[in-house]
Amino acid sequence: MKILPLSVKNLARKPGRTTALVLLTAFLALAVFGGSVITLSLRAGLRSLEARLGADIILVPSEAESKVSFRNMFLQGTTGAFYMDASVAEKALEVPGVEKAAPQTFLASLKADCCSVKIQVIGIDPSRDFTVQPWIARSLKNELGDMEVAVGCKVGAGIGETIRIYEQRCKVTACLEPTGTGLDTAVYCNMKTMDTLLAAAEAKGVSHRISSGDDSVVSAVYIKVRDGYDIGDVNTALTGKLRKVTAVRTRSMLTGVSDSLAGISRTVTAMIVVIWVLAFVILLLAYTLIVRERSREFAVLRLLGASRNMLGRMALYESAVCGLIGGIAGTGIAAVGVFSFSALIEGSLGLPYLIPGFSTILCLAAGTILLSVAVSALTSAFAAWRLSRVNPGTALRDGA
Amino acid sequence: MSLLELKNISKIYGELKALDNVSLHVDQGEWVAIMGPSGSGKSTMMNIIGCMDKPTKGEVLLDGVDISRESSKALTDIRRDKIGLIFQQFHMVNYLTAVENVMVSQYYHSMPDEKEALEALERVGLRERARHLPSQLSGGEQQRVCVARALINHPELILADEPTGNLDEANENIVLDLFARLHQEGTTLIVVTHDPEVAEAAQRTIVLEHGRIAREVINENFGK
């Protein structure tokens, strides 16, 4: 018989008390792990969005804001399209300070017989693109061929499969890594494929024509500002030069997201802190009451020859076991909840949401469990230490 | 040969003298009863002899060592190595079985040995109840387990505080028989009691009143 089995026997033979302590610790672990995963996912989503947007300025038709919120297209994956003359990209390059101008063309498929699924199709020009192409390159070695598409991770089509867009069959050649943004629900193709799809859409009554009547259209132009130039100045210059075009600084677009994220992050962190402070106090009270209730038992053990250290270690082991079981249970429950309902959480938050990688989750889980064990041990050790100062003879007489 | 010697000990709590200049000598293998009314200083004396408290004044020599000057840690070691304690309220660890209660005492002393613990329970007639929890044992059985726990480490001194106070007559006799056997084997016994019949079982009775030894009675019929 060693101290640990003695502790385990006590826990096993006091199931009610043990369950209550485990549940309390599990609640703590659940709050920390669940809250942390949500916060980290939001931060990762924002970082991913920043990386995917990758541009300093985005040019869109002036009508884009009124017709469909292009912010929502990026953030929440809502489908929609707006068009402007393709020459905007060339004209933008004439503005001093513009280093790169990469056009993209959008097309929303229909929830109808002609299309496999309602999605956002984005046409890119691989020769000029600097935002989406690096992302596609991670999943596809070659450039996208004609009538080939790369699909976001949430489109639900695998490599080699064919998806139908306005009766046109496009072969899936790459599945892209998740970004936690609306980009995950989009399909990417080259401009030639997009031209074919635009023509097919027009045949179905979905027009991409603009008032100029030009066939060559784009939806957005991503601008990279040359080093040494002020983005604000370039933005102003672009707005002045290009008619019926809105120049949006991506930072301002992300600021709203960032502010929302910071707000949610603060709320979640505050909740975690409040829960932990409350739980710390509750645990301290619980262990103080338990240790006090066991004062007679501790006194007997002291009289049988147990030192203060031995009793402290015994209390520590017991609470550590409770903390460990509670930590594992709470983390497990939180993991099941957070991962099973990630789509629901993402939808209700309306923000980029990218669950961190396995190693980060593993570290977070281990940290949460360690924290649960540490807090349990700390609170019980404090209570046990206070009790160990009492003379065993006195404790026995008073506790009898 | 002297095992315990109290030399002019006093224990003072503020204005109250719980023990007032008490001297006592107990030989190895002797069976001594300590009697007295409530508040006479019996428990204080038991706490001091049992290394649970220190006197305010005087010396307490246990096996030649002055325990009144020892540290708390040293007192724990002395108590563990030399003294077996038995209480009126039994004080078993309620989540451990009878045999585990005995083994706890072994654990803190040296090394748990289940076979030896079972033999100790056999001595007190409780081998069959070894796997029972305290809540499944009667008062008499619990006290017998405590006797087994007290003697498992072969202490030089068994110190019992009202050991039969919560027992019926039958169980009281069983416990006194156990004490008699321990005495025959050479164990020193100090029994604090209210009960004159329990005191009469001892060789010598010390009567305390108001913190002083009022009288000492030698049991002429002891062993007859």
pLDDT tens profile A252-311 = 666 666 677 777 778 878 887 887 788 788 888 888 888 777 888 888 888 888 888 888
Residue B57 included in any domain? yes
Residue B223 included in any domain? no
Structural tokens at position B33: 């009863």
Nearest to A304 among B73, B108, B112 (CB): B108
Q: Which of A31, A21, A35, A108 is nearest to A67 (CA)?
A: A108
Cα–Cα dist B147/B142, whole Å: 9
List per-block mean pLDDT (blocks of 10 residues) for chain A, which spans 400 residues. Answer: 72 88 90 87 77 80 71 69 87 92 87 72 88 77 86 85 88 85 83 89 76 74 91 90 85 68 78 80 83 81 85 86 94 92 79 83 94 88 74 67
DSSP reduced 3-state for A259: helix
Q: Do B43 and A304 touch (CB under 8 A)?
A: no
Residue B224 included in any domain? no
DSSP reduced 3-state for B224: coil
Touching check for B95 and chain A: CB below 8 Å?
Answer: yes
Residue numbers in B near A296 (CB within 8 A): 91
Q: What is the pLDDT of residue B1?
A: 79
Strands A148-151 and A168-175: parallel
Residue B87 included in any domain? yes
Touching check for A304 and chain B: CB below 8 Å?
Answer: yes
Residue B175 included in any domain? yes
Helices (H), chain A: 3-12, 15-53, 64-67, 70-75, 87-93, 133-137, 191-203, 231-241, 250-293, 295-303, 308-340, 342-349, 358-388, 392-399
The 10 Å Cβ neighbour count of residue A113 is 9
Q: What is the pLDDT of residue A77?
A: 63
Q: Do A305 and B87 touch (CB under 8 A)?
A: no
Nearest to A391 among B53, B85, B94 (CB): B53
Beta bridge partners of B35: B207
Residue numbers in B near A306 (CB within 8 A): 76, 108
ipTM score? 0.84
Query: B114 to chain A, minimum CA–CA distance in Å?
Result: 9
DSSP reduced 3-state for A275: helix
Residue numbers in A near B77 (CB within 8 A): 305
CB A295 within 8 A of CB A360: no
Touching check for B112 and chain A: CB below 8 Å?
Answer: yes
Touching check for B77 and chain A: CB below 8 Å?
Answer: yes
CB A11 within 8 A of CB A342: no
Residue B113 included in any domain? yes
Beta bridge partners of A57: A223, A249
* DSSP sequence for A105-146: EEEE--SSTT-SS--EEEEE-TTT-SSSHHHHHTT-SSPP-T
Q: Which of A123-132, B8-17, B196-205 has the lowest mean pLDDT?
A: A123-132
Q: What is the pLDDT of residue A331?
A: 95
Residue B6 has pLDDT above 90, yes or no: yes
Residue B75 included in any domain? yes
Q: What is the pLDDT of residue A178?
A: 80
Which residue on chain A is closest to B45 by alpha carbon?
A393
According to DSSP, residue B131 is labeled T
Q: Where are the domains of chain A?
A: 3-48+257-399, 63-243
Which residue on chain B is closest to A1 by alpha carbon?
B112
Count the domains in chain B: 1
Nearest to B93 among A297, A307, A391 (CB): A297
Cα–Cα dist B208/A193, whole Å: 109
Residue B215 has pLDDT above 90, yes or no: yes
Distances A243 to A105, A108, A235 between C-alpha atoms, Å: 19, 25, 13
pLDDT tens profile A48-89 = 777 766 788 888 888 776 655 677 776 666 777 888 888 899
CATH number (domain holding residue B110): 3.40.50.300
Cα–Cα dist A124/A183, whole Å: 13
Distances A211 to A105, A188, A208, B50 between C-alpha atoms, Å: 17, 26, 10, 104
Q: Which of A383, A175, A185, A146 is nearest to A284 (CA)?
A: A383
Q: What is the pLDDT of residue B204?
A: 94
pLDDT tens profile B139-186 = 889 989 998 999 899 899 999 998 888 888 888 888 888 899 889 989
Q: What is the pLDDT of residue A400?
A: 42
Residue numbers in A near B103 (CB within 8 A): 1
Touching check for A300 and chain B: CB below 8 Å?
Answer: yes
pTM beyond 0.90: the answer is: no
Beta bridge partners of B84: B158
Note down the domain range covering B183. 2-218
Q: What is the pLDDT of residue B61?
A: 94
Residues 6+ apart with CB under 8 A from B95: A9, A10, A13, A14, B133
Tell me the torsion sign for CA atoms A353, A357, A363, A368. positive
Q: What is the pLDDT of residue B221?
A: 78
